[in-house]
Structure 1
Amino acid sequence: MKKERLKVAVIGGGSSYTPELIEGFIKNYSVFPVGELYLVDIEAGREKLETVGALAQRMIAKAGVPIDLRLTFDRREAIRGADFVTTQMRIGMLDARSRDEKIPLKYGLIGQETTGAGGLAKALRTIPVILGICKDMEELAPDAFLINFTNPAGIVTEAVLKYSSIRTVGLCNLPIGTRMQIAKLCEVDVSKVDIEMMGINHLNWTTRIAVDGTDITREVLNKAAGASGLTMKNIPDFGWDADFLRSVGSLPCSYHRYYYMKDRMYADMKKKFDEKGTTRADDVKAVEAELFEMYKDPNLAVKPPQLEKRGGAYYSEAAVNLIKSIYNNTKDIQIVNVRNNGIIPFLPDDVSVEVGCVIDAAGAHPLQIAAPIPPQVRGLLQVVKAYEELAVKAAGEGDYDAGLQALTIHPLVGDAKVAKALLDEIIETNKDYLPQFS
């Protein structure tokens, strides 16, 4: 029997993304009745939590829905008896992200938030905190679902799968964003578009695209060549080459530009850094400052449209679609991060993959992939997944050797001497956040 009032805990409640989530809970209250909503943060985030919390309270009051909103720094209080726990954290905040992006540039490498050396640094800081949350859930809410939006989402999901008994599903706004982009490219309503995606978080390929049930994959690949708009807000909109897309045979995700256009992406980053001394993290800081000034306006009682600049577009839709489908045992199909269990046959069973899943009251169940996986996809996917396995081991166990090998084999690093220097600098720079290496 379904509960009539649900308790939801949002870890990282002071995030600029939170109004997206509040909007989703309000719009879907009739099918996902949130009774108690806890926004949780740390003391260092007090001002942001209070600002976001006040806006959230105004949004709830304006909508007239009976959601009891509570702000707290007591994570255990929020988790106790929760039905769903969502995580949207940035350990070390944007200053840490800025370092993650700038350190690799010193070595002539791409500095990016979720992949390569920057992604490893973030994973090392994040996974111990996530596993602490899981430990609290095992004690205080063992039947709850952990819905993780914290990047690097696939690596974090894999850590939970390997080191915890908690039921978890990893979430990213990239799949829903890709579907929206394809609909716009084809000039059709998004409700008519169905896609099959296969891979891992931020390294997935759209292998089949259908409109009203008709396969138009080849047509979309032709249209996508050189087209703009097929990327996320945080990734430069460099167009794909027609011959290259045809040879891949599927639509690469936005983040593939870091692999398939490595030199061009690095040159773009380096030029910006040399001219302005900034990276994407600094842009986000500016956007966040603007957003939080808006959030402080006592007359604001809706999510401001400027939030889309933050890169979090469709987060609310993706997150609320997932949890309301679990709650309602909907059995619809969504693209999320789950345990592989043989779905991608050349990857280990216990790793996380991002694929289409049937969502029901027990969680997410991956669908068999229809299309054969060609070697040009398999090769890159195996290497980056091996990096992720090593990253999880390094972060979860404080295993230096795993961290060194993770960087060495990653396509955006690929040199043992550079990998060691990078890892040593990452550990030293982040030592206050890396108890597992002490």
Structure 2
Amino acid sequence: MSALKIAIVGGGSTYTPELIDGFARLRDTLPIGEVVLIDPAEDRLELIAGLARRIFDRQGHTARVGTATSVADGVEDADAVLLQLRVGGQAARNEDETWPLECGCVGQETTGAGGLAKALRTVPVVLDIAEQVHRANPRAWIIDFTNPVGIVTRALQTAGHKAVGLCNVAIGFQRKFAAHLGVDPELIQLDHVGLNHLTWERGVTVLDHPGACTGHEALPKLLADFGQEIADDVRLPLSLIQRLGVVPSYYLRYFYQHDVVVEELGTKGSRAAEVAAIEQQLLRMYADPALDTKPELLGKRGGAFYSEAAVQLLAALLGTGGGNVQVVNARNNGILPFLPDDAVIEVPAEVDAEGVRPLPQRPIEPLYAGLIAHVTAYEQLALQAALVGSRDRIFDALLAHPLVGQNELADQLTDRLIAHNRAYLSWV
């Protein structure tokens, strides 16, 4: 197979060196001949591209690194297009994390009212980008890492695009569990189920060998031997995790301890402000012509193991790494029978050059199924609000959200959301 061309929309992100490092290290899995970074911010684009070239050179990789400010130019002949953009930047994220707190609600960039604001800003932009990708190269896969991944991926798939969503939560658990158990990560297979940023690890199988169909269940041992470390990692009480007998993702904290989180957020600065400060440090480091590796500080930016997850997915879809099972965000199609077929779920799936096929799931316990169904209904309404607009649709989505759900609260949040996002809402 000839070397691949990968385009990254949002290539000026400080995340990008994480991807480039993975592309360079995992060249045998994913043979890349060209990477094109696409971003309207030309100054950052050239800065990131320079570091990308140095990372490739240091590791003896011959891939070319190009840049483009136009999506149409950058995606031409690309085999896959990765989306990692943030409409409104860290400034908009800071608002998403701030104004919901005025109403006593969690302020977070993907969950609750802040997550809805991000979806409203993001979906129209992503759909426009996807149309440009389709016109330039309809065979290209679109890999969405842009939050909120579930809603954005559903928008792409509903519009008929060849798209799959990707999140680093599952691969993060895989790597951490493997370290606890002292085994190779390839031997860890997760029973991971739910929606993006609303998932539970219901089982952890240690395979007999990579690719095996047999193995032994290790979740009880993990909870018995490493329960406190796991609880600290997801920032939930050990007693709750022991009671559930599963490992919830960190994002379940916003549901299981909403009021505690709101109180915490009210006494410290936003995560957006913290990330913005980290980004400024990273950009100064990236400008150093002697830097030819991703700096350790990048690990504090977020997105751990993003590159490994992206390489695995791209290799399977593009036929360079063979088929395998990966956790992705994909169309439900009856896998979870209590959800609409066009809902996007986050579960293990067979991934190969033919596409993505979510694996059958054992029945979901009511404790989790109820919340999954509730949030799916919200996501459906959020998508309609993003596609069509109107105050009423925003209100409906907020009223349906399990972290809002009250008339007066939804009304207040609707007004604040619109006031803080007027520049991004074409219908206002």
- TM-score class, shorter-chain normalisation, is over 0.9
Matches of 1:285 and 1:115, distance apart in 2? 20
Q: Which amino acid aligns with 1:41?
A: D
Q: Is the aligned partner of 1:12 residue 2:24?
A: no
Deviates more, 1:169-178 or 1:391-400: 391-400
CA distance in 2, matches of 1:230, 1:201: 21
1:136-175 matches, cutoff 5 A: 136-162=132-158, 164-175=159-170
Structure 1 unaligned regions, length at least 5 = 232-236, 273-277
SS in 1 for 2:98: helix
Match of 1:241 in 2: 238
| Counterpart selection for 1:253 from 244, 249, 252 | 249
Q: How many percent identity over aligned positions?
A: 41
Matched residue SS, 2:370: helix
**Correspondence for 1:182 among 156, 170, 177:** 177
* Separation (CA, whole Å) in 2 of partners of 1:238 and 1:358: 31
The answer to whether the 8 A contact 1:124-1:434 is kept is yes
Aligned counterpart in structure 1 of residue 201 of structure 2, from 198, 202, 206: 206
| Cα distance in 1, alignment partners of residues 34 and 390 from structure 2 | 39
The answer for the alignment partner of 1:30 in structure 2 is 28
Does residue 306 (structure 1) correspond to residue 308 (structure 2)? The answer is no
> Residue 200 and residue 417 in structure 1: after superposition, are their counterparts in 2 closer, same or farther (change >3 A)?
same
1:368 aligns with 2:347: no
Shift of 1:228: 4.9
State the match for 1:326 in structure 2.
317
Question: CA contact under 8 A between 1:393 and 1:399: conserved in structure 2?
Answer: no
1:65 to 47, 61, 78: 61
Task: Kindly indicate whether the alpha-carbon contact (under 8 Å) linking 1:79 and 1:141 is maintained by their aligned counterparts in 2.
Answer: yes
CA contact (8 A) 2:381 2:397 kept: yes
Residue 107 in structure 1 maps to residue 117 in structure 2: no
The 2-side partners of 1:60 and 1:221 are apart by: 40
Shift of 1:225: 4.0
Pairing 1:381–2:372 present: yes
CA distance in 2, matches of 1:69, 1:166: 26
Q: Distance in 2 between matches of 1:224 and 1:397?
A: 47
Shift of 1:337: 0.2
Q: Return the match for 2:422 from 411, 420, 431.
A: 431
Change (3 A) 1:230 1:190: farther
Q: Deviations over 1:274-309 (max 9, x none)?
A: xxxx21101101111111111111100111121110
CA distance in 2, matches of 1:10, 1:219: 40
> How far is the alpha carbon of 1:326 from its aligned partner?
1.3
Measured after TM superposition, the shift of residue 410 of structure 1 is 1.3
Partner of 2:343: 351
Shift of 1:27: 1.9
TM-superposed deviation, 1:67: 1.4
1:159 deviation in Å? 0.8
Determine if contact 1:169/1:363 at 8 Å carries over to the other structure: no
User: 1:275 maps to which residue?
Assistant: none
Q: How many residues align?
A: 420
Secondary structure of residue in 1 paired with 2:341: coil
Distance in 2 separating the partners of 1:345 and 1:96: 36
After superposition, give the CA deviation of every residue in 1:241-263 in whole Å (9 maximum; x if it has no partner).
Answer: 33x33443422111111111112
Which deviates the most, 56-65 or 165-174? 56-65
Work out the CA distance in 1 between the residues paired with 2:231 and 2:409: 35
Letter in 2 for 1:50: E
* Distance in 1 separating the partners of 2:224 and 2:100: 35
User: In the TM superposition, what is the alpha-carbon distance from 1:362 to its structure 2 partner?
Assistant: 2.1
| 1:118 corresponds to which of 111, 114, 125 | 114
> CA separation of 1:225/1:59 partners in 2, compared to 1, >3 Å: closer, same or farther?
closer
What amino acid is the match of 1:417?
E
1:29 Cα deviation (Å)?
Answer: 2.6
Within 5 Å, which residues of 2 pair with 1:395-410? 395-410=386-401
CA–CA distance in structure 1, aligned partners of residues 174 and 31 of structure 2: 27
**One-letter identity of the residue aligned with 2:324:** D
Task: Name stretches of at least 5 consecutive residues in structure 2 with no aligned partner.
Answer: 208-214
Instruction: Tell me if structure 1 keeps the 8 A contact 2:103–2:412.
Output: no
Residues 211-239 of structure 1: CA deviation (Å, up to 9, x unaligned): 241112233334454335763xxxxx534
Contact 1:358-1:366 within 8 A present in 2 as well: yes
Q: What is the TM-score when the length of structure 2 is the normalising length? A: 0.94
Shift of 1:375: 0.7
Whole-angstrom CA distance in 2 between matches of 1:46 and 1:103: 31
> Aligned equivalents of 1:175 and 1:401: distance in 2?
35
Amino acid across the alignment from 1:205: W
Report deviation, 1:187: 4.2
Equivalent pair of 1:14/1:39 in contact (CA under 8 Å):
yes
Which string of whole-angstrom CA distances, capped at 9 and with x for unpartnered residues, describes residues 52-83 of structure 1? 11101111222232212111111110122221
How far does residue 420 in structure 1 lie from its aligned partner after superposition?
A: 2.0
CA 1:224–1:30 in structure 2 vs 1: closer, same or farther (change >3 Å)?
Answer: closer
Write the distance in 1 (CA, Å) between the matches of 2:222 and 2:230: 13
- Offset from partner CA, 1:11-40 (integer Å, 9 cap, x none): 000101100111122123333222221101
Which residue of 24, 37, 40 maps to 2:38?
A: 40
Q: Is the 8 A contact 2:204 2:219 kept in 1?
A: yes
The secondary structure found in structure 2 opposite 1:227 is helix
* TM-score, with structure 1 as normaliser: 0.92
